[in-house]
Amino acid sequence: MKEVDEIINRVKRLQEFEVCVTLPESFAFNGRIPFDMQIEGNTAKVHVYAETIEEAQRKAEEYFDELAS
């Protein structure tokens, strides 16, 4: 039951952040898109739910890094 309580508490702490990510040169959409985003030129403004701005930035960068590889 402790795990369930931890998950519920984490969900309660989530906030929506807007972070900017420079798109990798080899960027191409492939698969599902887990974020609401706007792309202008080589920059994506990504809306991410996370506990902190640092976590949001990391999640967005990891997503684009996976698409580039």
Which range of residues forms the domain containing residue 33?
Answer: 14-68
The string of pLDDT tens digits covering residues 5-16 is 999 999 999 999
Q: Burial of 33 by CB count in 10 Å (0-12 exposed, 13-18 middle, 19+ buried)?
A: exposed
pLDDT tens-digit series, residues 13-66: 999 999 999 988 887 777 788 999 999 999 999 999 999 999 999 999 999 888
Question: Residue 54 domain-assigned?
Answer: yes
pTM of the model: 0.82
Residue 1 lies in a domain: no
Give the count of domains, the chain: 1
Of the candidates 41, 45, 42, the residue with the CA atom closest to the CA atom of residue 20: 45
Question: Would you say residue 21 lies in a domain?
Answer: yes
Q: 35: how many CB neighbours lie within 10 A of its CB?
A: 17
